[in-house]
Amino acid sequence: MEESILIKFGKRIRELRIEKKLTQQQLADISGLHKNYIGMIERGERNPSLINIEILAKSFQINISELMKMS
């Protein structure tokens, strides 16, 4: 069974966060999103809006297309 897009996206967010050596709290502080919300995205429990996807991309200093490169 293939992973859902939410699980894939969550793994991508976690991968980028760890690559940048950020905690969930630090990413929350940079992005203005709540730490619990970031955790829920990483676990595939939330479906972030396009606005929040843009916020996350800017927080990682990458464009949306780079953010969406999921395995």
Q: Mind listing the pLDDT tens digit of every residue in the chain (71 residues)?
A: 778 999 999 999 999 999 999 999 999 999 999 999 999 999 999 999 999 999 999 999 999 999 999 87
Q: Residue 14 has which token pair?
A: 């976690």
Question: Could you identify the residue written with the tokens 């050596």?
Answer: 21
Question: Could you identify the residue written with the tokens 């297309």?
Answer: 65
Q: Residue 51 has which token pair?
A: 């606005």
Output the pLDDT for position 70.
Answer: 86
Residues in the chain, overall count: 71
Output the pLDDT for position 12.
Answer: 98
Contact, 43 vs 14, CB < 8 A? Answer: no
Output the pLDDT for position 2.
Answer: 79
How far, CA to CA in Å, does 1 sit from each of 4, 18, 22? Answer: 9, 27, 31
Give the global pTM: 0.94
